[in-house]
Structure 1
Amino acid sequence: MRNKLLIEAVGTFFLCLAALVASSPLSVAALLCALIYMGAPVSLAHYNPAVSLAFRLRGRTGTRALWSYVSVQLTAALLAAMVAGYLLGHDTDRARAAVDALSESAFTGFGVTAAVELLATFALAFVILMVGTSRLTAGNSYYGLAIALAVLGLSGTFGDFNPTMNPAVSLASSLLGPFAAIFDGLIGTKTFVTETLFLAKLAPRILAEIAVQFVGAALAAWVFRFLFPEDR
């Protein structure tokens, strides 16, 4: 289990870091493809708490492993947010947007965002279950490419809504602003207070988005089991 958790930590860290730092979804997809082939022989290369839930409901992992994976993945996301905050520094435009957003409801436009996260996470999880766990595709060597292409395609399809399809990435994205302010020496300043208040206000929305991602992954697992009841 130790090696599995270490692989999950490394993979999730670099995936989250790429999602925060990379300038193109293609870069994220390419790195994800390499990380999947790197980690799949050891941990099955989840790198995503929602995918870990899908594997649990699919019957490929146990409950204890699920909690261990998710804990490691979220910790790796936290570290990735710290590193990204250090590398990128504080974004003044983001700070201005945060100030403007403080006067709005945290759930403005949430219905559309939730629908996109549900659809995208469902599609990604279902692709992963099909190419990574199905008897129909057992022994294939294209699973990493298929998953990376799914991420790239879904990112392009829903690009205007910027779905993460991954609770770990959602967590890292939400923490980027405060960590960037900390590393820029802005603790105690108005900017840091604004970033902190913005995070506190968005926390319910972030948790709701993560819940939707888990629902999408769970639906993918249930649909898989419905379509292939013999594939246990």
Structure 2
Amino acid sequence: MQATLLQKLTAEFIGTSLLLATVVGSGIMGVELSAGNDGVALLANAAATAGALYVLIVLFGPISGAHFNPVVTLAMRARGEMSSEAAASYIVVQVGAAIVGVVLAHAMFGVALIQPGDHVRSGGSQWLSEAVATFGLLLTILLGIRHRPAAVPALVACYIFAAYWFTASTSFANPAVTVARALTRTFAGIRPDDIPGFIVAQLVGALAALAVSHVLAGPSVEGPATSTQNQSLRPATKRVSREFSPSARR
């Protein structure tokens, strides 16, 4: 049975808010328990995020596609797999839900609900890191849903876990996450002034991933979407399986 737009948006809201609660909450807990060891705190943060991503993609992929990320939604729109109206609704919900997730994490740990970020994340190395992180994430999704659709939840979770460690920015790779994490001064935060550079880098990485996936795998197997088409990713029949089209991150 095809999910309604309301059901899809509800899935995106719950999934994105829980993802951000995991990112920020595990960062707080990691710092509290690591006795000043940033490596241990980052390991806890990365592991919790990857674990939550796997669960959330499995649960919400068949309903909404489990994007949780505006660049994933824009990529699906560019591939003709959803309408402009649905894509715009997804992005609004993702940004709002990400903010709710940050506030929820703060509430669970008894800290100020809104804390303008003060963690400096700026400069060429940070921007390059975000472009690379987003490129890898989106390429993982686009090639994964073409060749190994059932493995996409694990593929995305593993990629994000690795990208926490091999990128200088710790792999935000998600504009909604970037905006929301500017509202926390915790381990996961970012200065509001650094948001534009991150988002531009993420969009550049996403465009590169779209181009490369087109070269490697060809255009999407789907035709142009209509406003009533279900853009959540379904199990395969005779065509390529598209059960999951997640987002990620962080």
Which TM bucket (shorter chain)? 0.7 to 0.9
Q: Give 1:228's aligned residue.
A: 217
Number of residue equivalences: 196
Q: Give 2:11's aligned residue.
A: 7
Does structure 1 conserve the Cα–Cα contact (< 8 Å) formed by 2:122 and 2:197?
A: no
Does structure 2 conserve the Cα–Cα contact (< 8 Å) formed by 1:84 and 1:176?
A: no
Q: In the aligned structure 2, how far is the partner of 1:147 from the partner of 1:87?
A: 27
Moved over 4 A (4+): none
Larger radius of gyration: 1
Q: Give 1:187's aligned residue.
A: none
Q: In the aligned structure 1, how far is the partner of 2:122 from the partner of 2:158?
A: 28
Which ranges of structure 1 fall in alignment gaps of 5 or more residues? 181-198
Q: In the aligned structure 2, how far is the partner of 1:212 from the partner of 1:9?
A: 24
Q: Give 1:126's aligned residue.
A: 139
Identity %: 28
Q: Give 2:245's aligned residue.
A: none
Which ranges of structure 2 fall in alignment gaps of 5 or more residues? 31-43, 222-250
Which structure has greater helix proportion? 1
1:77-96: CA deviations, max 9, x gaps? 111121122233449xx99x
**Which SS does the other structure have where 1:18 is aligned?**
helix
- Relative to structure 1, is the Cα distance of residues 45 and 109 closer, same or farther in structure 2, using a 3 angstrom cutoff? closer
Q: Give 1:193's aligned residue.
A: none
**Which SS does the other structure have where 1:220 is aligned?**
helix
**TM-score, normalised via structure 2 length:** 0.71
Does structure 2 conserve the Cα–Cα contact (< 8 Å) formed by 1:57 and 1:218?
A: no
Q: In the aligned structure 2, how far is the partner of 1:166 from the partner of 1:76?
A: 13
**Which SS does the other structure have where 1:59 is aligned?**
coil
Q: Give 1:18's aligned residue.
A: 22
**Which SS does the other structure have where 1:70 is aligned?**
helix
Q: Give 2:76's aligned residue.
A: 55
Whether 2:198 is the aligned partner of 1:217: answer: no
Q: In the aligned structure 1, how far is the partner of 2:181 from the partner of 2:219?
A: 39
Match of 1:164 among 165, 172, 188: 172
Whether 2:202 is the aligned partner of 1:208: answer: no
The farther-off stretch of 33-42 and 47-56 is 47-56
1:101-130: CA deviations, max 9, x gaps? 8xxxx7x84211100000011000110111
